[in-house]
């Protein structure tokens, strides 16, 4: 993430950092904060504690997004042979692919067009012209980053700007075609 981890990270922040860690674009300080938060919740289960951490109260449950992040990191270590430092996001990736940010932007803009009511075909054509990419490149970006695009749009909107009923219908139509998207706890459709 380009921006620093906020003082009180929400499940959406945790999800975005986890996505950045998987992409190799996260700041190692953010990864350290996630580990500290994880330890806080594990310690809380073992013995009662009275202090807050990052705005989380001792009586709150561990965010699912935090568990998902560590599950994915452990799977990357065990199944893909990644080094623990890399899987947990403790080091910057060497030779970060420049296409990652472009693909994320393509997916986000495509989703904005689809939510606004454009058909899939016309939205892809607009994105092709705007980013000067082939249809296949737009498809690859969408397939890889569509869920992060949804999370980013929700994050950009904030809690005070909920989805309108017609936007909700379009989102369900877009994402329920093939499968259900993984949703951060605070992502309310």
106 shares its domain with 164:
yes
Asked if residue 183 belongs to a domain, the reply is no
53 DSSP β-pair partners? 56
Does 4 reside within a domain?
Answer: no
How far is residue 154 from each of residues 1, 36, 39, 151, measured CA to CA in Å?
16, 25, 28, 5
Does residue 156 belong to any structural domain of this protein?
Answer: yes
> Three-class SS of residue 11?
helix
- Whether residues 129 and 61 fall in one domain: no
Contact 53, 67 (CB under 8 A): no
Q: Are residues 68 and 107 in the same domain?
A: no
pLDDT tens, position by position, 103-125:
888 999 999 999 999 999 999 99
14 pLDDT above the threshold of 70:
yes
- Shared domain for 71 and 112, answered yes or no, is no
Range of the domain at 32: 11-87
Whole-number pLDDT of residue 109 = 92
Q: Does some domain include residue 49?
A: yes
Q: What is the pLDDT of residue 55?
A: 66
Residues facing 56 on adjacent strands: 53
How many residues appear in the chain? 189
Q: Note the pLDDT tens digit of each residue in 130-188.
A: 888 888 889 989 988 888 898 888 888 877 788 888 888 888 888 876 555 455 444 44
């Amino acid at each position: 993430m380009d921006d620093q981890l906020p003082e009180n990270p929400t499940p959406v922040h945790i999800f975005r950092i986890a996505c950045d860690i998987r992409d190799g674009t996260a700041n190692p300080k953010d990864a350290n904060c996630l580990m500290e938060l994880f330890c806080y919740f594990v310690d809380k289960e073992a013995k009662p504690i009275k202090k807050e951490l990052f705005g989380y109260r001792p009586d709150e449950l561990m965010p699912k997004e935090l568990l998902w992040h560590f599950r994915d990191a452990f799977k990357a270590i065990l199944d893909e042979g990644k080094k623990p430092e890399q899987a947990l996001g403790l080091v910057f990736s060497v030779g970060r692919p420049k296409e990652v940010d472009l693909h994320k932007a393509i997916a986000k803009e495509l989703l904005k067009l689809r939510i606004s009511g454009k058909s899939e075909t016309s939205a892809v054509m607009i994105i092709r012209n705007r980013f000067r990419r082939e249809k296949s490149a737009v498809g690859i970006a969408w397939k890889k980053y569509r869920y992060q695009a949804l999370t980013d749009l929700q994050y950009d909107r904030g809690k005070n700007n909920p989805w309108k009923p017609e936007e909700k219908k379009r989102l369900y139509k877009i994402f329920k075609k093939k499968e259900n998207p993984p949703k951060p706890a605070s992502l309310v459709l």
